[in-house]
Amino acid sequence: MDIRAYHGGSLIGALFENSEREYAFEYSDRADTHLCLSMPSTQRIYLSRFHLHPFFDTFLPEGYLFELLRGLINKREGRADDFTMLYYLAGGVEGRIRLEGKERPKEEKALFLEEVLENDTWDTFRVLLNTFLYRNAIGGVQPKTVALVEGREYIIKTFGEEYPELARNEYFCMRAVERAGIRIPKIYLSENGRFLVVEKFTYDREKRVYLGFEEIGSLLGKTRETKYEGSYEQIAKVIKRFSTSPEEDLKIYYKLMVMNFLLRNGDAHVKNFGLIYTDDFSDIRLSPAYDAVCTTVYIPDDKPALFMHGTKKWHSRDKLMEFGMRYCGLSKEEAKELYDMCESAVREEMEEVKEYVKEEMGFRGVGERMVKEWDRSLVASVPQTIRISRRRGMGHGL
C-alpha cells in the first residue's frame, strides 16, 4: 500500500512504510519538480520514524472529523493509523500536487452556493459531510467539511455546543482582518449564521492554475501534536528565508500578528500561517489569512498559542511594536502606523458587531462578549503613560 504524488500527469514520488516501520517518501527518477518547499527533490528519500512527514500530516483532520473517519476506517481495515487515514483521504488532495491512494467513491453532483447558505442546519452539514467525506484532507479541530459547490471546492464550517456561534465569531474576526489590509479567502455567512463557507484559495481563477501551499508549521517540522511549540519569531524567520517579497510579507505578517492579539485569537498556532507559491517556485508569498477567532469568548483565561519574547502572554502595544522592529524590519514609525491601522480595523468591526446583535438576538451573548474582549484588548494596548495621563485629566474635570 502506497500513496502516490503526481505533478500534472507525471508521477513524482510515493509515500510508503518501509521494512523498518518508517514512513518514507521517495522521489521518482522522472520527478520534474519538488513535492513542496520543505522536501525539495535535491534529496531522493525522506524518512520519518514516528509520524508522517509534516507536509503529509497537514492533510489529516483533527477533532470531530478525525474521530468520525477513524471509526469508519478502523472498521474496514482493522487499523486506523495516520498512514491508513491519509491513504483513504489522498484522493481529496487536488492541487499543484495531486495525491492518489484508495479510489474515492463517486459523489453526487455539485451544489449551488445559495442552497448551502439557505439550508444551514446540522442535518444539511451531515449530508454534505457524508457526500464529500473523502475530500476532507484538511486539518483543524472545528467541525467542517470540504464540498464541491458550483464546480469549486469550499470549506464549510459549523460548530457544536462547546463553542456556540463559532461561525459568526470567525466571520466577524476575518472581516476585521480584511479591514486591516490583509488578504483573506472569499467567505460567506449562511442565512442563520450556522455555516461559515470559505472558498479554498489554492486555485488562481484568473490564470486557471493551482498554486502550491505549505503551512509554516510544516516548514518548521511541526505536526498536529507539536503545533503549539513554535514562536512568532520562528515564523518571521521562515518568511524571511522563503518569501520572494520578504519586506512586504513581513509587514503583512506583523499586522496579522497584531490582529491576533487585538482580536484575542488564542489558537493562532504554526499551522495557521502558510506560504503560497507558483508552480515553478518563482513567486513565494505569505498566504491569505485564515482561521481567526476570538477564543477568550469561550476560554476567559486563554493565552496566545505561540511564544513571543520567550513567553505566552497578551503583550502590550510597545512589545508588539518592538517585535515588528526587531523581527519584521520595520522602523518605529512603520510599526506604529501599521499598529494603528489594526486598531482602527478592530474598532470599526466592533461597531458592526454591535449593530448586528440588535437584529440577531441568537448571537447577542457571544457577540457582546466579543465586543467586551476586543474593548479590553484595545484599552490594554494603550501605553501606560497615556492611560495615567487620561486618568489625571479626568480627575481635573477635563
Our count of domains for the chain comes to 2
In a domain, 271, yes or no: yes
Domain limits for position 36: 3-158
Residues 109 and 251 in one domain: no
Query: In this prediction, what percent of the chain has a pLDDT beyond 70?
Result: 95
Residue 388 CA to residue 376 CA, distance in Å, equals 16
Residues 261 and 376 in one domain: yes
CB neighbour list of residue 88: distance below 8 Å, 6 or more residues apart: 69, 73, 101, 102, 134
Residues 254 and 334 in one domain: yes
In a domain, 177, yes or no: no
Residues 251 and 150 in one domain: no
Residue 171 CA to residue 190 CA, distance in Å, equals 10
- Asked whether residue 336 carries a pLDDT value surpassing 80, the answer given is yes
Residues 143 and 12 in one domain: yes
252: how many CB neighbours lie within 10 A of its CB?
Answer: 22
Q: Are 274 and 214 in contact (CB under 8 A)?
A: yes
Give the pLDDT confidence score for residue 141 in this predicted structure. Answer: 82
Domain stop point among 114, 131, 158: 158
In a domain, 98, yes or no: yes
Going from the C-alpha of 31 to that of each of 59, 97, 199, 221, 379, the distances in angstroms are: 22, 12, 30, 23, 55
Give the pLDDT confidence score for residue 20 in this predicted structure. Answer: 79
In a domain, 398, yes or no: no
pLDDT tens sequence across 305-335: 999 999 999 999 999 999 999 999 999 999 9
Domain stop point among 130, 158, 186: 158
- Asked whether residue 108 carries a pLDDT value surpassing 70, the answer given is no
Residue 378 CA to residue 360 CA, distance in Å, equals 25
In a domain, 39, yes or no: yes
pLDDT tens sequence across 4-61: 999 988 999 999 998 778 999 999 999 999 999 999 999 999 999 889 999 999 999 9
Domain stop point among 113, 143, 158: 158
Closest to 116 in 3D by CA, of 144, 90, 96: 144
Residues 118 and 228 in one domain: no
Among 121-130, 264-273, 291-300, 379-388, the range scoring the smallest mean pLDDT is: 379-388
CB neighbour list of residue 35: distance below 8 Å, 6 or more residues apart: 5, 12, 13, 25, 27, 41, 55, 97
Give the pLDDT confidence score for residue 309 in this predicted structure. Answer: 96
In a domain, 351, yes or no: yes
pLDDT tens sequence across 360-377: 999 999 999 999 999 999
Residues 380 and 232 in one domain: yes
Query: Left (φ > 0), alpha (ψ -120 to 50) or beta: where does 127 sit?
Result: alpha
Q: Are 27 and 41 in contact (CB under 8 A)?
A: yes
Q: What is the dihedral of CA 340, 343, 344, 348, to 10 degrees?
A: 180
DSSP 198-221: EE-TTEETTTTEEPEEEEHHHHTT
Residues 232 and 141 in one domain: no
Residues 130 and 258 in one domain: no
105: how many CB neighbours lie within 10 A of its CB?
Answer: 10
Residues 151 and 218 in one domain: no
Residue 332's CATH number: 1.10.1070.20
pLDDT tens sequence across 109-164: 678 999 999 999 999 999 999 889 888 898 888 899 999 998 889 999 999 889 99
In a domain, 173, yes or no: no
Residues 153 and 217 in one domain: no
In a domain, 200, yes or no: no
Residues 245 and 124 in one domain: no
